[in-house]
Chains A and B, each alone.
Chain A
Amino acid sequence: MDFSRVFNEAMPLLLEGLKLTVIVSLVSILIGMVIGLFVCLMKMSKNIVLRAIAGIYIWIIRGTPMLVQALIVFFGIPQLIQLAVKGFRFDAITAGIITLSLNAGAYLAEIYRGGIMAVPKGQSEAARSLGLSKTQTMIKVVLPQAFKFSVPSLVNQFIITIKDTSILTVIGMAEIVNQAQRYVGTTYVFFETYSVVALMYLAIISVLMLISNYVEKKLKYEGRKRHRDQH
């Protein structure tokens, strides 16, 4: 075992990778959440064209491996665009963020939809009966409650997205696994290096789980706590 060697030689690389993994995950989750919201609303709209577009998008993303999606975004789509724009290409980070966001967006859309459907119909009927528009009802009454119902599934998806960044090593994005592969390629210290890699993922995801526990508790006890403050 030679962990000290890995710490001395590989740590700077791995920390670079960690930084990129965290940034790419965060950006992709944020973009994915916005995509997911729009796709979810499209899927629930009365307009059959919007519903079909959303349905096809979700179908394709869920029906194909993310590895293949990454290859298509990084290698395939630029080739297509090159027909019109000479020399066009994505850098690996851009392609990685596009792939992850599109991927997370499809799953998040379904998670939101589940959350929205879990809000009792009486809630929106009450809002509409007061004269609130459909949009106002959605923003003020339905979505906040849907979000609360969705938190556990959302966190689950965030975890998947963070771990899926490792797939992006195939397009050469210099995240944790990619950095580790470069290091072991010349040194052959597999066990130590990949153990450190695993611990890094465990650390990021543990932080995320702590945050989500806090958020869940906060949403849950909001009412009771304020009530207690009154007395």
Chain B
Amino acid sequence: MTNINKNNEKVVVTNLHKYFDHNEVLTGIDATIYEGEVVCVIGPSGSGKSTFLRCLNQLEEVTDGKIVIDSFDITDKKVDINKVRENIGMVFQQFNLFANMNVLKNIMVAPVSLKKMTKEEAEKKAMELLNRVGLADKAHSFPGELSGGQQQRVAIARALAMNPDIMLFDEPTSALDPEMVGEVLDVMKELAAEGMTMIVVTHEMGFAREVADRVLFMADGVIMEQGTPEEIFGNPQNPRTQDFLSKVL
């Protein structure tokens, strides 16, 4: 894509380590992600991709290392993580729409509770977003009444309601029936085209190849190789990357 602003480092990760008990899941990650960049993270399961993503908004506490987002060091205990999270949207594999609220409330609850918008503003914004993801007619449905693809599109709308400037996607299409993958990827492509900074953990190699500005290949808790989609998919250098791609492509 063309919107990358190399002068603005949105996310800077330095020497990130993460242990679960005695199990070291991330073994030293360094990465910089620029404003407007779309980064896809690929790799075998167990490689730490999701853990890496979840560290970026502190859903996982980091064991060691530094994560700076918009010049806030979020590993610093003095930084109000809730404030930082307001600017980082996240979309989950299992959608995680709030089961006790209808679609409209799901989208409105954060901006209203956090006093970013009045109820009226939030409702207007929610309807705009629902229009955008093609689900305006579902505003009063409950999550359980929607298909997986519809739920995920609502989840994207919910994350966007806070006007974030970074979006994290944790395998957003992995729990979907095959025929619904396209509708979710289309919304993500649109978002990418509008210049959103996106970090996407995915198994959709087609999406990564088409939309990513940069692809990170992770294995054993580190970034083994990174480059443009052409470099990674066309001419991978690392034997682990070659091996992984030969299995999934």
Contact = CB atoms under 8 A, between A and B. Distances in A.
Nearest to B94: A122
Contacts, number: 81
Interface residues of B, number: 30
B233 interface: no
Contacts of A63: none
Q: Is the interface of A mostly helix, strand, loop or mixed?
A: helix
Given A126-B92, A131-B85, A226 B102 contact: yes
Interface string B140-169: 111011000000000100110010000000
B145 to A, nearest CB: 5
Interface string B201-240: 0000000000000000000000000000000000000000
Contacts of B86: 130-131
Contacts of B109: 130, 132, 140-141
Contact of B145 (A120, A130, A133, A223): A223
B113 A132 contact: yes
Contact of A227 (B114, B140, B155): B140
B122 to A, nearest CB: 12
B247 interface: no
Interface residues on A, range: 20 to 34
A152 interface: no
23 contacts: A122-B96, A125-B59, A125-B96, A126-B90, A126-B92, A126-B155, A127-B98, A128-B59, A128-B85, A129-B57, A129-B88, A129-B89, A130-B109, A130-B159, A131-B83, A131-B85, A132-B110, A141-B98, A141-B100, A222-B142, A223-B102, A226-B141, A227-B141
Interface of B: 57, 59, 82-83, 85-86, 88-90, 92, 94, 96-100, 102, 109-110, 113-114, 140-142, 144-145, 155, 158-159, 162
